[in-house]
Chains A and B, each alone.
Chain A
Amino acid sequence: GLKTLHLGSCVVTINLQEIQHGFSEIRDSVQAKDDNINIRILRSTESLQDTKASEKCCLLHHLLSFYLNRVFNNYQTTDHPTLRKLSSLANSFLIIKKDLQLCHAHMTCQCEEEAIAKYNRILSHFEELEPQAATVKALGELDILLRWMEES
């Protein structure tokens, strides 16, 4: 069912179970294409897990935009079922991003220096890789982001 995300003073309800189910159906095929197994873009310990409650909303907002702007639309596949699952994930992320934008409008999703620094570290890990390899890795690591959302 639905999950309520407590992101500091921003609270949003999302269909996390549906998103997790959708990703689980493409995870293995995506991760199988990742040749850079010793590099990690989303590092649980360094970036996500120790995020303060007040920073969570800003970091998630930036990560959602990252996936919407640089990952979902650059992942190359001719497999129609995968394309459909990606569409489902992307449109679900779009809804969550809209909800966070509402929080931002109501000043409950403010960005502090630490959250921006954390996001920039993630971006630099992403940009270390060749673009298509980075896209594959970032998509394959979506379960790290979803687990963090589940714990929030």
Chain B
Amino acid sequence: DPGAVVPAPQNLSVHSANMKHLLVWSPVILPGETVHYWVEYQGEYESLYMSHVWIPSSWCSPTPGPECDVTDDITATVPYRLRVRATSGPRASAWSALKPPFNRNSTLLLPPRMAVRKDGSHLVIELEDLGPQFEFFVTFWRKAPGAKEHAKVVRSVGFPVYLGAMEPGAVYCVKARALVRAIARRSAFSQAQCVEVQGEALPL
């Protein structure tokens, strides 16, 4: 019905994990019509100094689906106001605003996935690449009474990081947590992963 009002999108929310932010909402159903959505945002600066200015989202002006990756738009640790409207042909709905505004410091930081292995007599870890804002705090230790825990901050990922030499016959364990300085937060530690070194344990 060309004259019918296009309903505004409802149930806006942001799903944010590991600094990836997805704005989602309930789809607008108009039988027989093609609906598109337009997403706009304001950072705290715009709200305070230019409240009439709304910035079209990088990836969703327009978008066909009821979701929008706003990660590239949320670039500072301040509250962001987000709004969505639906269109069908020339007709547009009212804007629906996300309440409350979203701040990336509320993102869910998950323990990092890692692969621990031996390279000869060396303990090696490889961490998943979560993007340039992430650092990793890695601790590793020899599984033995009174063994000292070692720590290392890993800033670049995507390739093996050598943690240290291992003694034959010993078991070494590693755990890691993610660190995001831009929001001054860190994740929980991952489960420890252990590897055993072949060969005879050296006499004490």
Contact = CB atoms under 8 A, between A and B. Distances in A.
Interface of A: 1-2, 13, 15, 18, 22, 68-69, 72-73, 80, 83-84, 87-88, 90-95
Nearest to B50: A73
A1 B55 CA distance: 27
Contacts, number: 58
A91 B78 contact: yes
A73 to B, nearest CB: 5
Interface residues of B, number: 22
B191 interface: no
B55 A83 contact: yes
B75 interface: yes
Contacts of A95: 76-78
B43 A91 contact: yes
Nearest to A15: B182
Nearest to B76: A91
A46 B189 CA distance: 51
Closest 7 CB pairs of A and B: A91-B76, A91-B43, A90-B45, A88-B75, A73-B49, A91-B45, A73-B50
A22 B49 contact: no
A92 B155 CA distance: 22
Contact of B55 (A13, A18, A69, A80): A80
A87 B55 contact: yes
27 contacts: A2-B182, A15-B181, A18-B75, A22-B75, A68-B49, A69-B49, A72-B45, A80-B56, A83-B55, A83-B56, A84-B55, A84-B58, A84-B72, A84-B73, A87-B75, A88-B75, A90-B49, A91-B43, A91-B44, A91-B45, A91-B75, A91-B78, A92-B75, A94-B45, A94-B48, A94-B78, A95-B78
